[in-house]
Structure 1
Amino acid sequence: MTSTPQRGASTSRTAPPRVRLVDVAREAGLSKTTVSAALNGTGRLSPAVREKARETARRMGYRPNATARQLRAGRARLIGYVVGEFAWRPWTYLESPYFAQLTSATAASALRHGYALVMLPAGSLHSEWADLPLEAVVVADPVDHRVVDDLLAARIPVVSDGSVDGRPGAHWVDVDAEEAVHGTLEHLAAQGARRTALVMSGSTTRFHREVLTAYRDWCAARGCTPRVTVTDDAGNGPAVRAVESALTAAERPDALFVVEEVSPPLVLDAARRHGYDVPGDLLVVCVSEDDTAEHTEPPISTLSLQPREIAEAGIELLVAALENGDEAPSGRLVATRLLVRESSRRPSRTVAASPQAECTSVPPT
């Protein structure tokens, strides 16, 4: 009599044997050495032989033993990735279009070079990565140097922003914040803006500090009163509140430069709620990687920080350091891109000849 298995009773299954290199060689009718060379892209093999070996391996589900390969090479080929901001909410950065693009591009670039990316929570502590066989780490937008200091002390190469310039084992990729800010403000001034308000994060990253300095310097050089509104937290809600605060100042701005990351349509909604016509009454430029900006009515001008280019440059610097064993610091500057759309153009208005003519206004209360 055959017994019926009871519900919940465990049943053992024998896992199929792992396909070995010798099995692939036997199936393909090739030597083990030939198959190994074909799969590793080495040796003098004809395209037909190389393709036959690879197709056989794929069909049989062959996968190299990663552990054995690492032991032979003495390397794990793992690159860590950590974001300095949002440490109080470790994975919040994944909701940001900028960091989402930066993260995916970093992972893709690392993989193209034969490395896997290990994502760490924002503001990672030493204990969270100390036992991982990381060969290098990307530290995006550090708010301080604790993580960078710990990694360099452990002799792990790092790529970060320009604040690490000159430190052995530290490499950097950055944007010229001053040039980006001044270029954007000059564009707005050329369109007739005289009272450009800045909405930005209260973050202490190098980028945000440089943005604020560049804005104030530009205003001082032109006799304009700085109009700065700082958000009290990350996310669309706090950013929209900051935008509304700037729009309801005693002296209404005629241009808005939003550096805090926010969904662009929400900026337009806030402007309309407070009686502004964009671009008739208010010119708008957002620092944003959000694709919705080009589909709003009117389309919103954006300043892109080029996260994909930053990611690729960072991985290239790290891979060069790892493959060459060179600890000498290196860096690269990535150009930003101002995409001018209808929200910051006033084609029907006559722009004043002198951008400084009306730049002596009273600061908002």
Structure 2
Amino acid sequence: MSESSSKPRDATVQDVAREAGVSKATAARVLGGYSVTSPAVRDKVMTAAQSLNYRPNEVARSMTTGRSRAIGVVVADVENPYFGLAVRGISDVARAEGFDVILANSGEDVERERDAIRMLLGKRVDGLIVTPASVHDTEHLRAVEASGRPIVLLDRYIPSMSVDTVVADDRAAGAAVARRLTEAGHRRIGYVSATACDDPVYRGPHQLHLSTVRDRIEGFLEAAAQAGGEGCERYVRLGVNRLGGGLKIVADLMALPDRPTALIASDNVVALELFKALRTLGIVIPRDLSLIAFHDADWTSVTTPSITVIAQPCYELGAESAAALVRRARGDTTAGQRIILQTRLIERESVIPPPR
């Protein structure tokens, strides 16, 4: 006997119908969840399905009902704990509402984002949650919006789109960091971001293709200037990465004759790069340089010194995004809204007045 002929056959809708003593059409309606039947009939069908270990054919069901009960999610960096927590929030809400989640990673690359969305739409997902890789290259996202397929933007907004968007108040967070440092006496404050850019020296907002980066930097620069910051624009650096770029950027900043007395890291990954670079250069935090990071990653509370951070509502961003998408998938046609969640500053040991 061949291996294929000895393998148990999966139960079909017809098998469930026969076991429950109902028609195939009735069993299909109950198992598909797309028509109303009496509680007694539903119980008979579900009991039969359980006894037969029936597993629905999701592709066939989506072709029949037009719904897959799945949400497609495209995030910027699955290795970043920030997005890991957001995906957890998405998954928890989706599961509670009866939806599966299919996850893809764009790596902050628009072409990979475009391919991921194409793949997810091919799987007939009921909607998309996307962290846009660019505020400029958005035709593929606007095409989804125009098609009527629900799409929610997570963590970043696109001004030309009117879909539901869930973001943190990044401008206010940038301002809060600047105020904390200027209140401690700092006037020469640097900001280091991972956002991709050919020129690491900040020349203006035209270099910034992510709404989060732009809002944080603009909030920081505005608040620093109001508090007497000494032209902090010249201390903003872009394009730090995990391949040693942080060491060169920090070394260049600290070689300036009027070097910064404090640095802001745009996220927890950048903060770790800066922390390692400063240690390599023999610069002691906070004695020689104060440091604040965005995102309360686990490591920031156990280093010596522990790092003052802006805690962001990562889980809540994901949960709110999923809740918004579920509403749309179930037929909500009201105007898209921007949901803005607040951040908070957690004081630790990495900020003191600047050295004399």
Same fold, TM exceeding 0.5? yes
Query: Structure 1: how far apart are the matches of 2:279 and 2:161?
Result: 49
Of stretches 228-237 and 173-182 in structure 1, the one that deviates more from structure 2 is 228-237
* 1:141 aligned residue: 132
Of stretches 264-273 and 320-329 in structure 1, the one that deviates more from structure 2 is 264-273
**Within 5 Å, which residues of 2 pair with 1:36-55?**
none
Residues 53 and 73 of structure 1: CA distance in aligned 2, closer, same or farther (over 3 Å): closer
* 1:212 aligned residue: 217
> Match for 1:94: what amino acid?
V
Q: 1:232 aligns with which of 239, 258, 261?
A: 239
* 1:361 aligned residue: none
Query: Structure 1: how far apart are the matches of 2:284 and 2:325?
Result: 47
> Match for 2:97: what amino acid?
H
* 1:117 aligned residue: 101
Of stretches 59-68 and 200-209 in structure 1, the one that deviates more from structure 2 is 59-68
Query: CA-to-partner distance for each residue in 1:191-228, whole Å, 9 max, x for gaps?
Result: 33332221123441011111221222123212312043
Q: Is the 8 A contact 1:264 1:300 kept in 2?
A: no
Query: Structure 1: how far apart are the matches of 2:270 and 2:219?
Result: 24
Query: Structure 2: how far apart are the matches of 1:131 and 1:238?
Result: 38
Query: Structure 2: how far apart are the matches of 1:131 and 1:54?
Result: 29
Residues 206 and 166 of structure 1: CA distance in aligned 2, closer, same or farther (over 3 Å): closer
Give percent identity, aligned residues only: 23
* 1:300 aligned residue: 307
* 1:287 aligned residue: 294
Query: CA-to-partner distance for each residue in 1:289-331, whole Å, 9 max, x for gaps?
Result: 5311111111112223322111111111111122134152122
Matched, 1:155 2:181: no
Q: Is the 8 A contact 2:71 2:99 kept in 1?
A: yes
Query: CA-to-partner distance for each residue in 1:117-168, whole Å, 9 max, x for gaps?
Result: 2334523336545533132211203403223212123222221156446845
SS in 1 for 2:164: strand
Residues 323 and 255 of structure 1: CA distance in aligned 2, closer, same or farther (over 3 Å): same
* 1:177 aligned residue: 170
Structure 1 residues not aligned, in runs of 5+: 86-92, 352-357, 359-365
Q: 1:337 aligns with which of 317, 334, 344?
A: 344
TM-score where L is the length of structure 2: 0.75
* 1:313 aligned residue: 320
Structure 2 residues not aligned, in runs of 5+: 197-208
Residues 248 and 111 of structure 1: CA distance in aligned 2, closer, same or farther (over 3 Å): farther
SS in 2 for 1:125: helix
TM-score where L is the length of structure 1: 0.73
> Match for 1:61: what amino acid?
N
Q: Is the 8 A contact 2:72 2:127 kept in 1?
A: yes
What is the alpha-carbon root mean square deviation over aligned residues?
3.8
Residues 297 and 60 of structure 1: CA distance in aligned 2, closer, same or farther (over 3 Å): farther
* 1:186 aligned residue: 179
Q: 1:132 aligns with which of 123, 143, 160?
A: 123
Q: Is the 8 A contact 1:201 1:233 kept in 2?
A: yes
* 2:82 aligned residue: 98
Q: Is the 8 A contact 1:202 1:230 kept in 2?
A: no
Query: Structure 2: how far apart are the matches of 1:167 and 1:297?
Result: 44
Residues 13 and 212 of structure 1: CA distance in aligned 2, closer, same or farther (over 3 Å): same
Residues 67 and 268 of structure 1: CA distance in aligned 2, closer, same or farther (over 3 Å): closer
Residues 65 and 82 of structure 1: CA distance in aligned 2, closer, same or farther (over 3 Å): closer
Matched, 1:62 2:54: yes
SS in 1 for 2:350: helix
SS in 2 for 1:343: coil
Q: Is the 8 A contact 1:167 1:329 kept in 2?
A: no
Of stretches 334-343 and 170-179 in structure 1, the one that deviates more from structure 2 is 334-343
Q: 1:107 aligns with which of 85, 88, 91?
A: 91
SS in 2 for 1:94: coil
Residues 202 and 151 of structure 1: CA distance in aligned 2, closer, same or farther (over 3 Å): same
Q: Is the 8 A contact 2:68 2:125 kept in 1?
A: yes
Matched, 1:15 2:19: no
Q: 1:82 aligns with which of 53, 74, 80?
A: 74
Query: CA-to-partner distance for each residue in 1:87-134, whole Å, 9 max, x for gaps?
Result: xxxxxx222222233334323432322222233452333654553313
Residues 236 and 57 of structure 1: CA distance in aligned 2, closer, same or farther (over 3 Å): farther
Query: CA-to-partner distance for each residue in 1:58-100, whole Å, 9 max, x for gaps?
Result: 57533344355445533122322224x5xxxxxxx22222223
